[in-house]
Amino acid sequence: MDTILVVNAGSSSVKFQVFAVDGDGRLERQLKGQVDGIGSRPRLRASGADGATLADRAYPIEAIADVSAALMVAGAWLRDELRITPMAVGHRVVHGGPDFDRPQPIDYGLVSRLERYTALAPLHQPHNLAPIKSLLANFPSLPQVACFDTAFHRGHDGVADQYAIPYQLYEEGVRRYGFHGLSYEYIAKTLPKVAPDIAAGRVIVAHLGSGASMCALKGGRSVESTMGFTALDGLPMGTRPGQIDPGVVLYLLSEKAMAPGEVQDFLYRDCGLKGLSGVSNDMRELLESRDRRAAFAIDYFTYRVGLCAGMLAAALQGIDAFVFTAGIGENSPAIRAGVAEKLAWLGVLLDSAENARHALKISQDKSRIPVYVVPTDEERMIAEHTLSVLWAAHSNGKRERAS
C-alpha cells in the first residue's frame, strides 16, 4: 500500500499523519500522532483512523533532544512496528516568501532559499525546516514536498499586498503575505460540498486558534487577509499581539532599551491573550477563569474579530456568509457567540441550540448572513498537494523519456 507521510513540526512537538493512496489516487487517513515534550518530557502518541490508541510511550530527555530526533523516533516506529514506508513526505512550511505560490519538491537549494525567511517566522520556519534537513541527510532518495501557508494568498491585488513604503522594499519582499493559507484553501475547496449556496460568493473565514487570522474569500479565492509580512499581524493570538502601531516597537527599542532580539521574543511569546490576561495563552483556561483580566482578554479577542470582519467585508464589498474554523472556532460555542454579537450589525442572528451542538450551520434561518462551522484539515491539503507534485514529476519524467 502506498502512503504519504505529512509532517507539521513546531518548536516542542512534531505532529504527523499517514494517508493511504488507493489506485484511483484517493487519500484515506490511516493514523495521526505527535511527539511532544521535546527537550523536556518527550512522549510519542498516535491513534488510528478509528481513534484507537496505537502508541503512548515516554522517552528519556536525551533520546529526543530536538525536532529532528523526534521525527527519527516517529519514523522508526512507523517503519519497524507498523511496516509503513512512505512514498513521499509532505511538510507544512509557514513562509514561502515572494518566490513560491504553490507547493515545491524539496532539495538543498530550496531549503537554502527558505532559510532566508526564518526571521519573518521565527516560531515556525526553523522548526518546519529541521525535519526536512534531517530527511535529506538520512533518506536523500525519499521525495519531499514543501507546502506553504503563504501560497494561497499570492493572488492578491497590489493594493492589498503592498505597504505604503518605497517600492524598492516591496521588490525585496517586504509585503503583506498572509498565513494559514493551507487551512483557507481547504475551506474554499470544501464549501462547494458542505455549503454550495455560499461557495461562490463573498465569504469571511475566521481561523481562530492559538494562531489566529481571518481571510476574505471571493469565488473561493483569497482577496484579503488580516495577517501581513509576518505572523504577528491582525488578530490577537495566544502569545502574539496582532495589529500594533509600529511606534510601540520603536518605543521598546529606544525608551525601554530592549535589543531587537528581545523585542522579537517579547512580541512572539509574551503578548496576545497571555499578555492581556496575565493568566494564560489558552482560550480554554481563560473561559474557565474568574479573573477579570481573563474576561477582558476574551472581550478584546471577540472585539477584534468583529473589527476585522468589518474590514474584510469592505474588501469584499459585501458579505454572503461567515465561517468559523480551527481549534477555537470549531470547539468554543462561547467565543462563536461573542463574535456573533459583534456581527449583529450585519444581520447575524445565532441559533443558540445549533451553536451549542457544533452544527454545520449555527445561524437562524432568518439571519441575513448565514454562519457556519467548518472543520479545517491542513494535513489532508498537504497530502493532496504532495501527491499532485509526485504525479507532475512522474508525468514530466515520462515526457522527457519519450522525447
pLDDT band of 120, cuts 50, 70, 90: confident
For residue 78, is pLDDT > 80? yes
What per-residue confidence (pLDDT) applies to 22?
Answer: 87
pLDDT recorded at residue 397: 58
Q: How far is CA 162 from CA 167, 169, 293, in A?
A: 8, 10, 36
Residue 91 and residue 110: Cα distance in Å, rounded?
13
In this predicted structure, the answer to whether residue 59 has a pLDDT above a threshold of 80 is yes
pLDDT at 157: 93
Distance of CA 246 to the CA centre of its chain: 25
Q: Is residue 281 scored above 80 in pLDDT? A: yes
* pLDDT computed for residue 395 by the predictor: 64
Residue identified by cell 490577537 is 236
pLDDT at 122: 87
Read off the pLDDT of each residue in 187-212 and give the average, rounded to a whole number: 96
Q: What's the mean pLDDT in 144-148?
A: 97
In degrees to the nearest 10, what's the CA dihedral of 98, 104, 109, 112?
50
Entry pTM:
0.93
| Mean pLDDT for all residues in the chain | 94
Residue 8 pLDDT greater than 80, yes or no: yes
Q: What is the pLDDT of residues 288-330, one digit of tens each?
A: 999 999 999 999 999 999 999 999 999 999 999 999 999 999 9
- CA distance linking residue 59 with residue 41, whole number of Å: 7
What residue has cell string 513560491? 100
More confident position, 67 or 267: 267
- Among candidate residues 85, 84, 40, the one with its CA nearest the CA of residue 58: 40
- Distance, in Å, from the CA atom of 148 to the CA atom of 97, rounded to the nearest integer, reads 9
Per-residue pLDDT reduced to its tens digit, 380-403: 999 999 999 998 876 665 555 555
Cell digits for 345? 450589525
Backbone angles phi, psi at 199, to 5 degrees: -55, -35
206 beta partners? 214, 324
Instruction: Give the whole-number percent of the chain exceeding pLDDT 90.
Output: 86
Give pLDDT tens digits for 318-375. 999 999 999 999 999 999 999 999 999 999 999 999 999 999 999 999 999 999 999 9
Q: According to the model, what pLDDT value does residue 121 have?
A: 87
pLDDT at 333: 98
Task: Calculate mean pLDDT across residues 204-227.
Answer: 97
pLDDT of 136 above 60: yes
Q: Which stretch of DSSP H or E encloses residue 145?
A: strand 144-148
In this prediction, residues 264-292 reach a mean pLDDT of 96
Can you tell me the mean pLDDT for 160-177? Answer: 95
Quote the percentage of the chain above a pLDDT of 70.
Answer: 98
d(CA 15, CA 118): 20
Name the band, by pLDDT with cuts 50, 70 and 90, for residue 179. very high
DSSP conformation class of 120: G
List, by residue number, the catalytic residues: 149
